[in-house]
Amino acid sequence: MNRKRRNDPEGFKGKRGVRCPYCGSAVVLRSAEGIYHDNAKGIKLYVCTKYPACDAYVRVLEGTNTPAGSLANGDLRALRIEAHRCFDQIHRLGLMSRRDAYTWLAGVVAAPMAHAHIGQLGEYGCMQVIEESRKFIENNRARIRINSDYGAPKQRIPGGGRYAAEHRAAAAGGG
């Protein structure tokens, strides 16, 4: 039945015809060397063969060849990072359990639970998550403990640099 699929550790490779969503080129699995400034962890990425002209890639889930989401360019990666940061506040602040937060997320992006991963979201989905997460936190501010690490939501969508480097792992991990 699902034997073939379960035993397929190749992720995208096992799916025929997976192409870069931006330029339509083939996608290769390779080391993040030369893409990440620091790849001490030996992370692997699925990268558009037109990289760096086409800046689209997605990392694999740790210890697998399974893509953590869909290929994303720099803008979308930054949006996913911000969406994850905003969403994570909800369960980190104890406003919901992590599990409940993911159920809530599925509702926000109108996707079944199995597909409610920020790594799968496009720009519109990310914007929804950012907006709804902020709203939820704002509406529940009274419940936030004084000792929490919550700060004011960042208004600016980060475009890269230090912020992206710090949060890259979290965002690329999908959800």
Judged by the rule CB under 5 A, the positions of this chain that interact with Zn ion are 20, 22-23, 25, 48, 50, 54, 56
Nearer to Zn ion, 56 or 76 (CB): 56
- Taking the complex as a whole, the smallest distance from the CB of residue 25 to Zn ion amounts, in Å, to 5
What's the CA gap between 116 and 137, in Å, rounded? Answer: 19
- Taking the complex as a whole, the smallest distance from the CB of residue 93 to Zn ion amounts, in Å, to 37
Nearer to Zn ion, 9 or 74 (CB): 74
- Residue position matching structure tokens 């369960």: 91
Query: Could you tell me what percentage of the chain is helix, strand and coil, using 3-state DSSP and rounding each to the nearest 5?
Result: 45, 10, 45
Nearer to Zn ion, 23 or 106 (CB): 23
- Taking the complex as a whole, the smallest distance from the CB of residue 42 to Zn ion amounts, in Å, to 24
Nearer to Zn ion, 22 or 163 (CB): 22
- Taking the complex as a whole, the smallest distance from the CB of residue 24 to Zn ion amounts, in Å, to 7
- Residue position matching structure tokens 């379960």: 6
- Taking the complex as a whole, the smallest distance from the CB of residue 15 to Zn ion amounts, in Å, to 17
* 101 three-class SS: helix
Cα-based distances in Å from 75 to 27, 78, 98, 112, 160 = 19, 5, 27, 25, 9
Instruction: Determine phi and psi for 66, rounding to 5 degrees.
Output: -85, 125
User: Is the Cβ–Cβ distance between 46 and 28 less than 8 Å?
Assistant: yes
Nearer to Zn ion, 35 or 54 (CB): 54
